[in-house]
Chain A
């Protein structure tokens, strides 16, 4: 788990996003380096999820640029599908394909994007299922799984694409409390193995323990960002202090 400052994966420059009259992101600039675990916190409606979803263009930014591995992916001429293959995403609501088995969920994209043969993809699926601790669920349907299991499968599905970076949009917020641990544990394991991650979460323990950088977003801008130690021990911004006093 070490940050490589020489390799910048994502460069976000003056990112803005408006929905009609609602100016959600008001100019966000930051760089995300290889091996970083950036944890984004902030009150609801602050724009943190919109920011995360902009990073793979699930939200189309209305201003600014995003460079992924040196390519401006906000450029209309860029084939976004090709870059999304390298940006994994895990959703709050899991979003497993409900008409597909677990194995099909994991192998669908690699096979149809012609990145692997069926046999290769299935072999990889079994390895990943082993890794997320659900080797016996290959032929189950999502409806037969618990929330925690679904999220672990969703992470495995993302990993099957061998992403360079993974985005987590409140991955534990829809889980029953007793299942939060298993998902966080898996995410910690990913971080230990050097995965670059951007995580929107309310799990302050995770931010403190696993994050290499914690970012506080409110009113559509980064109000403060720092190492977890400084962020929690010595917050500068008044809004952040208010926020922390409420959540800690």
Chain B
């Protein structure tokens, strides 16, 4: 078979390309909503932990956050996905996409929390003191002064976490979800050709990651104005 024939056989025959399209759509859906959940929850955890570090308050909440981080970071994402699907939502009829979003979002939150907390810690204590000495509250100082600088500092790390998350969703197939990886794999199982479908899958991931990196890069450059 020539290259074109192989291409035709793997992707065009029986409209097999649709597996990839559905898969890609699901991968993107899971990633986007998991990132949103991860950032929101991670942000909250980072605030609780930083508030505790700086003031010694919120002891119980801080303890719960630490337990959460330990458990999530100490177990494989795949096991977490399986637990969320087969244990937590075992008796509930729930969309698998939602299960994946929850599992990957909860997972990512732990990493996002530590990234944002490291950003907050990287800001000199003097910035906080200057804010507080002007009469700003802890919350105002955080919101107006510390967080904008902290987020700027951790943008590369956050971008990296989003990339990791996107690729991590490739295990969604284990709960019977058709993501991009599973889509390619279905084609492989039908055509008994590994090279084309898997190469196509890899290329699509690569392109998305490149696009993400480009966005993060641009944002970074825009935020760097004050360091001239």
14 A-B residue pairs with CB within 8 Å: A58-B129, A58-B132, A81-B135, A91-B126, A91-B130, A95-B129, A97-B127, A99-B148, A112-B136, A113-B136, A113-B140, A141-B227, A141-B228, A143-B228
* Docked pose: A108 CA to B136 CA in angstroms: 10
A52-92 residues with Cβ-Cβ distance < 8 A to B are 56, 58, 81-89, 91
Chain A neighbourhood of B133, CB < 8 A: 56, 58, 84, 87-89
B125-144 residues with Cβ-Cβ distance < 8 A to A are 126-127, 129-137, 140, 144
Chain A neighbourhood of B130, CB < 8 A: 89, 91, 95-97, 154, 157
Q: Quick check: A109 and B127 within 8 Å, CB to CB?
A: no
Chain B neighbourhood of A81, CB < 8 A: 132, 135-137
* Docked pose: A121 CA to B3 CA in angstroms: 69
Q: With A100-B226, A143-B226 as given contacts, are A85 and B135 in contact (CB-CB < 8 Å)?
A: yes
Chain B neighbourhood of A108, CB < 8 A: 134, 144-145
Chain A neighbourhood of B132, CB < 8 A: 58, 81, 84
Q: Quick check: B134 and A84 within 8 Å, CB to CB?
A: yes
* Docked pose: A212 CA to B31 CA in angstroms: 66
Q: Mark B198-228, 1 if CB is under 8 A from A, else 0.
A: 0000000000000000000000000001111
B95 at interface by CB-CB < 8 Å:
no
Contact residue range for chain B? 20 to 34
Query: How near does chain A come to B15, taking the closest CB pair, in angstroms?
Result: 52
Nearest CB to that of B123 among chain A residues? A98
* Docked pose: A113 CA to B139 CA in angstroms: 12
Chain A neighbourhood of B134, CB < 8 A: 84-85, 108-109, 113, 157-158, 161
Query: How near does chain A come to B125, taking the closest CB pair, in angstroms?
Result: 9
* Docked pose: A164 CA to B144 CA in angstroms: 25
* Docked pose: A158 CA to B137 CA in angstroms: 16
Chain B neighbourhood of A142, CB < 8 A: 226
Chain B neighbourhood of A89, CB < 8 A: 129-130, 133
Interface on B for A, CB 8 Å cutoff? 124, 126-127, 129-137, 140, 144-145, 148-149, 152, 225-228
* Docked pose: A100 CA to B145 CA in angstroms: 9
Contact for A109 among B129, B135, B226, B228, CB less than 8 A: B135
Query: How near does chain B come to A215, taking the closest CB pair, in angstroms?
Result: 21
A144 at interface by CB-CB < 8 Å:
yes
Chain B neighbourhood of A223, CB < 8 A: none
* Docked pose: A96 CA to B126 CA in angstroms: 9
Nearest CB to that of A143 among chain B residues? B227
Chain A neighbourhood of B226, CB < 8 A: 98-101, 141-143
Contact residue range for chain A? 20 to 34
Query: How near does chain B come to A19, taking the closest CB pair, in angstroms?
Result: 14
Nearest CB to that of A111 among chain B residues? B144
Query: How near does chain B come to A142, taking the closest CB pair, in angstroms?
Result: 8
Nearest CB to that of B125 among chain A residues? A95
Nearest CB to that of B134 among chain A residues? A109
Of listed B127, B148, B152, B225, residue having the most chain A CB within 10 A: B127
Chain B neighbourhood of A154, CB < 8 A: 130
* Docked pose: A157 CA to B136 CA in angstroms: 13
Q: Mark A100-119, 1 if CB is under 8 A from B, else 0.
A: 11000000110011000000
A93 at interface by CB-CB < 8 Å:
yes
* Docked pose: A100 CA to B135 CA in angstroms: 18
Chain A neighbourhood of B129, CB < 8 A: 58, 89, 91, 95
* Docked pose: A144 CA to B225 CA in angstroms: 11
Query: How near does chain B come to A140, taking the closest CB pair, in angstroms?
Result: 9
Chain B neighbourhood of A96, CB < 8 A: 130
Contact for A112 among B124, B140, B149, B152, CB less than 8 A: B140
Contact for B228 among A56, A95, A144, CB less than 8 A: A144
Chain A neighbourhood of B131, CB < 8 A: 97, 109
Nearest CB to that of B150 among chain A residues? A99
Of listed B131, B135, B226, residue having the most chain A CB within 10 A: B135
Query: How near does chain A come to B52, taking the closest CB pair, in angstroms?
Result: 16
Please name the 8 residue pairs, one residue from A and one from B, whose CB atoms are nearest each other, closest first.
A85-B135, A95-B130, A95-B126, A109-B134, A89-B133, A84-B135, A141-B226, A99-B226
Chain B neighbourhood of A91, CB < 8 A: 126, 129-130
